[in-house]
Structures are given as C-alpha cells and as structure tokens.
Structure 1
Amino acid sequence: MRPRTGPPDIGCARLDPGAGMLEQARRRPELDIEWILGDLGSMSWEREFDFVVMTGHAFQMLLGDDELRAALGAVRAALTDGGQFGFETRDLLTRAWESWTTETPVEVAAGAGASMRMTRQVRSVDGEIVVFTSTFGVPGGSAPGDSDSTLRFLGADRPDVFLAGAGPAVDERYGDRAGGPPGEGSPEIITVARRTPA
C-alpha cells in the first residue's frame, strides 16, 4: 500500500497475516516498507493510501460473501478519494484447478541457483470453492512438505457485483499478466478499481 502524503523517502506498508512471509520480506532492508502483521479486519485505516494491491491471488482466499464484502469495505476506507485498488483472481470458467495434478509439477526458483518443485492435488470442488494440497520439495533433497489450501474462483462478472456494493468502481480490467483483454478463455480477472467520492 502506498501512502497518500509525505516526503519522497516515505515508502509503502505491507500487511500480511503470515509471520513467515513477513520474516522473508524483511530480509530486503533496502526496501522502504513498513511490514505489518495482520489482516484487513485488524486495521482501521481511513483515507491513508493512494493505492492498495492484493498480490498472489490473495483475493481468492476471501471465501465467504460477508468476508469479501468486509475486506472490500476496509480497502475502500483505506483509500483516498480517487485512490486505486488492484487485485487478481483466476477466472472460474477456465477451471485452472483441473490441471493441478501430481503429474504436473511446477519448478520455482529458490535463489542461489536452487529450485523447488511444487505439485498440487485437488481434494474437492464445491461450486466456486476448491480445496487442494500443495506439496513442496527440493529435487533430490529432503522429504517434501504439504500445505492445505482453499480458494474461491469467481466468474468474470462476480467481482463487479461485490465492488459495486463496496464502492470502488472498475477503472481497468485485464485477462492476463501481459495486459491482454479479458474475456472467454482468459486465465485471469485482473482489476484496477478506483474509490469515488461518496
């Protein structure tokens, strides 16, 4: 999140509920960022930021309608008038989870020339809700570790329904990370919304 005012040397704030993620992030002391452990429900910012972003498909971890509305309300409160909110979610219609199998590993760079292998195995699909297990390991290394996750996949029109209720109006919409147009077959719903005056 980028603050609205202050001298040029003031940086950003990162809010994250994962202590481990923040521990890793703090290893970059050259970044001018305030690292905050918590979630949107634990903060009460009012018109503090020009831009708020949810990265890494974090938007999909808002599983219930009430949870999603509360998060969007907190984002709107944190934005200045005209401030923007950016987020991405995988499009329900592309059914991305169907390619998540133990036979389709993903290689992730782990630094210093090392890599980590990740596989995902879907446990259940119930409408928009997908439960799966990710398995992480270093090729030829120690025993892999598992992490269980639950994500919500929204159809292309669904984010706008929740945004309309919370206040931010859609400014821009993309269908992939290269800035391609949204629509049938695009893997992502990438949205930039703007807080408009009440």
Structure 2
Amino acid sequence: MVLDFAAAYDQLNPDDDDYRFYAALADELGVTRVIDLGCGTGTLTRLLASRGRAAVGIDPDPDMIRVARQRSGGEHVDWRLGFSDCADTGSADFAVMSGHVAQVFRDDDAWSRTLRDLHRALLPNGTLTFESRNPGAHAWEQWTRQATLRTLDTVEGPVEFWHETAWVSLPLVAYDTFTRNPRTGEQAANRDILAFRDVPVLVDSLETAGFSVSHQYGDWQRTPLSPGSREIILVAHRRS
C-alpha cells in the first residue's frame, strides 16, 4: 500500500482558517513580495500570489513542491526546493509559516537559524507571522485513532489514516501517523516529533533574531491569547 501523502495533503487538511487569516493580514499590510516557508502543496502561496504579489514558496519535500507546481495558479509562484537559506536577502516584506511549520524545528539551533534567515530575507519593518500549538492546550491528548481517524479515497481504494501520540517530553512530542488498507489489512506507520514552545520562549527567540512582536492571538478570529488557547499566533516585525 502506497499513499501519495503530498497529493492527499489538502484532502487531509481541508480547513482554511489559517490561510484566510494570513491572506487578510497581507492585504491589510499592503505587502507586495512574500515568502511562504514550508509551503507544502502551496495553497496559501498561490492565494497570496493571486493578489498580484511576487510570491516565493519554499519546502524541503520534493513531492510537496511537485504537487504545488501542478496546481492551478502554480505558474505564478517561484517554487524552491530547500530550507530558509534559499530565501534571497532583502527580497520580501512579508514572510509566513503556516500549517504549524514552526513546530518541525525541534532543535533550538535550527529554529534560531531559520529566524535569522527570515530576518535577513525581510526588508526593514517587514512582517513575519506564524502559528504554533499552545502546549497549555495539550493537543497531543486528542491524537488517538478514535479522534483522528479519516478515510481517503485513493486509486487503490479506501485508505484509513490517523494519528497516535507516542510519547511526551516537553517541549517535544512524538506522534505516529498510520495508514491502513481496510480491505487487505496492510498497515504502515511513520513517526514525527514536534516542538511545543510556549509564548515566552517563542517571543524571546524572535526578539533575539531581531524582531519585535506586535500581536499575539489565540485563534484565527484574533481572540487575545490566553493560557488555554489552542493556538499561539504571532505577528512580528523586523527591526532595522
């Protein structure tokens, strides 16, 4: 059983609250050049580019970039395979990391390098925005087969897909992603580890990298951040 995860990504993640939030923020700020780091299949990148902006989408997964290029509007985006060091110096006034990309940098040095790269890539007073799951909300407690099970239609027939938390040692949380063919019983699993940084750590890392945090939200409706908020959504600006 082979599941093309990249092709199925949008079906597995149909909610677009984050995309609409970031697109609206870009509109409000009147930005003209954007970087989407960890762009995945490029849904947000293409949305930002559709407003007539110059858009760069960067992702280390070649399958994600493959799918992004093939989607409608993909021809208007500069797709780059790689990491934050692929961003050109002084090339953007808006940088975004959606889809909880900030949490894949479980090593603090890698997270700091990423922030420094984005600081270099942004113009003075340019905006960096991203979200991270709030460790205070204990999202991993809901990562069970019962709570996350979905069934996808594929060329091989229906495939079950779900998550299960493997271990918790904050700020790190490991979880397994399972796929199963209900017809044959064939099953596969893949383990990932995410960093659940709290607000003080995130703000301090941004300030150390040369940013000033202007807004902190707890959801996509811009509710002020609270200890029990599911999301930590930060908007920061590059200091000169």
Contiguous gaps of at least 5 residues in structure 1: none
- Cross-structure match for 2:82: 38
Q: 1:91: how far off?
A: 0.6
Check whether the contact 1:120–1:133 (CA below 8 A) recurs between aligned residues. yes
Spell out structure 1 runs of 4+ moving beyond 2 A.
1-4, 8-11, 105-111, 114-118, 136-147
**Map of 1:98 onto structure 2:** 141
Residue deviations 1:110-148 (CA, integer Å, cap 9, x gap): 79xx98653211111112101110123577688454321
SS of alignment partner, residue 104 of structure 1:
helix
Q: After superposition, where does 1:7-22 map in structure 2 within 5 Å?
A: 11-22=54-65
RMSD, aligned CA: 2.6
Structure 2 counterpart SS, 1:147: strand
Q: Write the letter of the residue equivalent to 1:3.
A: R
TM-score (norm 2): 0.71
Q: Does 1:50 align with 2:93?
A: yes
Distance 2:99 2:71 in 1: 19
TM-score by length of structure 1 reads: 0.85
- Name the amino acid aligned to 2:193: T
Quote the Cα distance in structure 2 between the aligned partners of 1:79 and 1:171: 16
Question: What is residue 76 of structure 1 aligned with on the other side?
Answer: 119
Contact kept in structure 2, 1:107 and 1:115, CA below 8 Å: no
CA distance in 2, matches of 1:82, 1:160: 17
Change in CA separation of 1:51 and 1:35 when aligned onto 2, cut-off 3 Å: same
1:45-65 per-position Cα deviation (integer Å, ceiling 9, x unaligned)? 211101111111010011122
Matches of 1:91 and 1:101, distance apart in 2: 18
Aligned-partner SS, 2:145: coil
Match of 2:161 among 118, 124, 135: 118
Deviation at 1:84, TM superposition (A): 0.5
Instruction: Check if 1:155 corresponds to 2:198.
Output: yes
**Hey, which of these two has a bigger chunk of helix by percent?**
2
CA–CA separation in structure 2 for the residues paired with 1:19 and 1:144 = 24
Count matched residues: 191
| 1:178 corresponds to which of 221, 227, 231 | 221
Deviations 1:40-86 (A, max 9, x none): 14x25211101111111010011122111111000100001111111
Question: What does residue 194 of structure 1 align with?
Answer: 237
Partner of 1:3: 33
Distance in 1 (CA, whole Å) between partners of 2:32 and 2:179 is 33
The answer on whether the counterparts of 2:145 and 2:164 sit within 8 Å (CA) in structure 1 is yes
Describe the SS at the equivalent of 1:103. helix
**Structure 2, unaligned stretches of length 5 or more?**
1-30, 35-50
Q: Give 3-state SS (helix, strand or coil) of 1:63's partner.
A: coil
